[in-house]
């Protein structure tokens, strides 16, 4: 089945230790998104790629970076995680960004910072 896959599902890291989260998709969608969701909060868009074009949200901390080496894969790098970065990180994809486009989410990676 076509799907969005995230690895790992759970990640424990130490304060300040870089961490990379992975997302892959078999949907062949052009757009890939990274969201951060904290408990009882709305998913917050960090950035997205439309093909190779990278779009960073204005309030995304510099600590967060992303790479998309090809259509199928997208990575979220957190350079120096702080305690406040503990959250669920959600990857989503869509065919495009038009009015009718829906986003499909992966299962998420829960990040714990010690």
Query: Residues in the site for other proteins, rule: CB under 8 A?
Result: 40-43, 45, 48, 88, 90, 97-100, 102-108, 110
Phi, psi torsion values for 37, nearest 5 degrees: -130, 120
Q: Tell the smallest beta-carbon distance from residue 27 to other proteins (Å).
A: 13
| CB closer to other proteins out of 78 and 90 | 90
| CB closer to other proteins out of 58 and 83 | 58
**Which residue in 64, 21, 26, 69 sits closest to 49, CA to CA?**
69
| CB closer to other proteins out of 70 and 102 | 102
Residue 105: partners with Cβ closer than 8 Å, 6 or more residues away: 4, 90, 91, 92
Q: Tell the smallest beta-carbon distance from residue 97 to other proteins (Å).
A: 5
| CB closer to other proteins out of 75 and 79 | 75
Cβ neighbour number for residue 16 with a 10 Å cutoff: 10
Distance of alpha carbon 18 from alpha carbon 79, whole angstroms: 5
Query: Helix, strand, coil: what percent of the chain each, to 5?
Result: 5, 50, 45
Q: Tell the smallest beta-carbon distance from residue 81 to other proteins (Å).
A: 20
Q: Tell the smallest beta-carbon distance from residue 36 to other proteins (Å).
A: 11
């Amino acid at each position: 089945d076509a799907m969005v896959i995230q690895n790992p599902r759970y990640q424990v890291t130490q304060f300040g230790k870089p961490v990379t989260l992975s997302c892959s998709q078999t949907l062949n969608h052009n757009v890939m998104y990274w969201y951060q969701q904290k408990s009882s909060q709305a998913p917050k868009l960090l950035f997205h790629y439309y093909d190779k074009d990278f779009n960073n949200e204005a309030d995304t901390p510099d600590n967060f970076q992303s790479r998309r080496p090809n259509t199928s894969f997208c990575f979220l790098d957190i350079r120096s995680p702080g305690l406040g970065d503990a959250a669920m990180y959600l990857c989503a994809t869509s065919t495009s960004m038009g009015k009718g486009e829906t986003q499909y989410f992966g299962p998420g990676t829960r990040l714990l910072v010690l």
